[in-house]
Chains A and B, each alone.
Chain A
Amino acid sequence: MFRAGVRAELGDAVEVIGEAGSVAEAVATIRTALPDVVLLDVHMPDGGGRAVLEQVRATHPDIRFLALSVSDAAEDVIGLIRGGARGYVTKTIAAGELVDAIRRVAEGDAVFSPRLAGFVLDAFATKNQAPVSDPELDQLTNREREVLRLLARGYAYKEIAKELYISIKTVETHVSNVLRKLQMSNRYELSRWAVDRRIV
Chain B
Amino acid sequence: MRSPVIDTQSAPSVPRPARPPLRRVRGGRLLTGVARGLAEHLGIRPILVRLGFMLLATPLFEGLGMLLYVALWAVLPSEVGTKPWQDRRQWPVFALLGLGIVFLTVVTGWAGSGMLFGWLAAIVALGAGVIWHQIKPDADWLTTIVGTSGRRSAILRLGGGGALVAIGVIGILAAVVGLTRESIDNVLNSLLFTLIALGGIALVFGPLIYRMYLQLNSEREGRAREAERADIAAMVHDQVLHTLALIQRRSEDPREVARLARGQERALRNWLYKPSAQAADKFGAALEAAAAEVEDTFGITVDTVVVGDRDMDPHVSALVAAAREAMVNAAKHSGVNNISLYAEAEPDLLSVFVRDRGTGFDIDDIATDRHGVRGSILDRMHRHGGTAEVRSTVGEGTEVRLTMPVDSTENINDERNGQ
A residues within 8 Å of B by Cβ?
71-73, 92, 114-115, 117-118, 121-122, 125, 149, 152-155, 198-200
- Cβ A121 vs Cβ B307 within 8 A: yes
Measured CA separation A153–B340 after assembly (Å): 6
The tally of residues in B whose CB lies under 8 Å from a CB in A reads 20
Q: Hey, which chain A residues are within 8 Å of B305, CB to CB?
A: 114-115, 117-118, 152
- Cβ B269 vs Cβ A122 within 8 A: no
Measured CA separation A92–B258 after assembly (Å): 12
Between-chain CB contacts (< 8 Å), 5 pairs: A72-B273, A115-B303, A121-B307, A153-B353, A154-B357
Say yes or no: is B4 at the interface (Cβ < 8 Å to chain A). no
A153 and B275 contact, Cβ closer than 8 Å, known pairs A117-B305, A118-B342: no
New A-B contacts (7) at CB < 8 Å, excluding given A153-B399, A154-B342: A71-B273, A92-B301, A115-B305, A122-B308, A153-B342, A154-B355, A199-B80
Q: What 1/0 flags go to B66-99 for Cβ under 8 Å of A? A: 0000000000000011000000000000000000
Chain A's closest residue to B265 (CB) is A92
Measured CA separation A73–B305 after assembly (Å): 13
Tell me whether chain B's interface is mostly helix, strand or loop, or mixed.
Answer: strand
Candidate in A114, A122, A153 with the most chain B CB atoms within 10 angstroms: A153
Q: Hey, which chain B residues are within 8 Å of A72, CB to CB?
A: 269, 273
- Cβ B269 vs Cβ A154 within 8 A: no
Candidate in B80, B306, B307, B353 with the most chain A CB atoms within 10 angstroms: B307
User: Which of A73, A125, A199 lies in contact with B81, CB distance below 8 A?
Assistant: A199
**Complex A-B, nearest 8 residue pairs according to Cβ-Cβ distance, in ascending order:** A154-B340, A118-B305, A153-B342, A73-B273, A153-B353, A121-B307, A152-B342, A152-B305
- Cβ A125 vs Cβ B307 within 8 A: yes
- Cβ B342 vs Cβ A198 within 8 A: no
Q: Hey, which chain B residues are within 8 Å of A117, CB to CB?
A: 305
Measured CA separation A72–B355 after assembly (Å): 22
Q: Hey, which chain A residues are within 8 Å of B140, CB to CB?
A: none
Measured CA separation A41–B67 after assembly (Å): 59
- Cβ B355 vs Cβ A153 within 8 A: yes
User: Which of B265, B273, B303, B308 lies in contact with A125, CB distance below 8 A?
Assistant: B308
Q: Hey, which chain B residues are within 8 Å of A121, CB to CB?
A: 307, 344
User: Which of B269, B275, B301, B307 lies in contact with A118, CB distance below 8 A?
Assistant: B307
User: Which of A71, A114, A122, A199 lies in contact with B342, CB distance below 8 A?
Assistant: A114
Measured CA separation A155–B397 after assembly (Å): 11
Could you tell me the distance in whole angstroms from the C-beta of A189 to the nearest C-beta in chain B? 15
Could you tell me the distance in whole angstroms from the C-beta of B20 to the nearest C-beta in chain A? 16
User: Which of B272, B307, B399 lies in contact with A152, CB distance below 8 A?
Assistant: B307
Could you tell me the distance in whole angstroms from the C-beta of A129 to the nearest C-beta in chain B? 8
Could you tell me the distance in whole angstroms from the C-beta of B230 to the nearest C-beta in chain A? 23
Q: Hey, which chain A residues are within 8 Å of B342, CB to CB?
A: 114, 118, 149, 152-154
Measured CA separation A8–B10 after assembly (Å): 56
Q: Hey, which chain A residues are within 8 Å of B272, CB to CB?
A: 73
- Cβ B269 vs Cβ A114 within 8 A: no
Q: Hey, which chain B residues are within 8 Å of A122, CB to CB?
A: 307-308
